[in-house]
Amino acid sequence: MSSPTPRSVRAVHTFADRVTAGRALGAALLDYQGPGTVVLGLPRGGVPVAAEVADALGAPLDVFVVRKLGVPGHEELAMGAIASGGVVVLNEEVMASLGIDQATLEAVIDRERGELARRERAYRGDRPPLALAGRTVVLVDDGLATGASMRAAVEAVRRAGPDLVVAAVPVGAAATCVALSRVADRVVCLVTPEPFNAVGAFYADFSQTTEQEVRTVLDRLGQPLN
């Protein structure tokens, strides 16, 4: 399946916060509005963005948990990511450059799988995940740096049999957005500034989203499809 070139605007722009970014992203995604569309936010920071997208599209909202596989001792550096459904996506370049062995990788994966399961229970409680088969699934995060988490999410969602998978973010590294278009059916990156340093640099307020805030958003907008 071919993937078109992601939509992008090559200009530096700072969003006030995730809510403002989500409203701008929702306006750019109106082509995907319809009764079969569902919006999935990547926690935690992607959920308030996704809430605004879901509101703009009139679509149900759910959470889709992805965990970064941080390099031991340098956890901010991703050597890959895992997602629901047993999906593991690895950054082979990072692993090779740092000499990460299989035992180290498996130890990190085991730890993150436990945390992934805990977060799914914390965010969703007893509510089952939305059905994705035959749907248009819009995956939303607050930004893309390496893209490992979003790539893992796309690959995991594919297993549920959706008709279309759209990866959408307010801001992302240009090369990452282009690379993601080889995995997702559509990629929407509102802003792809160069040089790209970190997602938070393009938000005036990039304060951490709490688990309670995620639960509150899901309680407000999360709902089953009719």
Q: Which domains does the chain have, with CATH numbers?
A: 18-67+127-221 (3.40.50.2020), 69-122 (no CATH)
pLDDT of residue 31: 96
The mean of the pLDDT values for the chain is 88
pLDDT of residue 128: 85
pLDDT of residue 43: 92
Distance CA 186, CA 64 (A): 18
The pLDDT of residue 116 is above 70: yes
- Backbone conformation region of residue 218, classed left if phi is above 0, alpha if psi is from -120 to 50, else beta: alpha
* Structure-token match 């607050």, residue found: 142
- Coil, helix or strand at residue 41: strand
Report the pLDDT averaged over residues 168-175: 96
The pLDDT of residue 220 is above 70: yes
pLDDT of residue 223: 54
pLDDT of residue 222: 65
Task: Provide the pLDDT confidence category of residue 226 given band limits of 50, 70 and 90.
Answer: very low
Report the pLDDT averaged over residues 133-153: 93
DSSP strand pairing (37-41 vs 61-63): parallel
Alpha-helix runs per DSSP H in the chain? 18-28, 46-57, 92-98, 102-124, 148-158, 174-180, 211-221
pLDDT of residue 29: 98
The pLDDT of residue 224 is above 70: no
**22 in Cβ contact with 50 (< 8 Å):** yes
Distance CA 171, CA 143 (A): 5
Task: Look at residues 129, 132, 152, 150 and name the one whose alpha carbon lies nearest to residue 141.
Answer: 150
Q: What is the DSSP letter of 144?
A: B
- Could you tell me which residues are beta bridge partners of residue 152? none
pLDDT of residue 172: 95
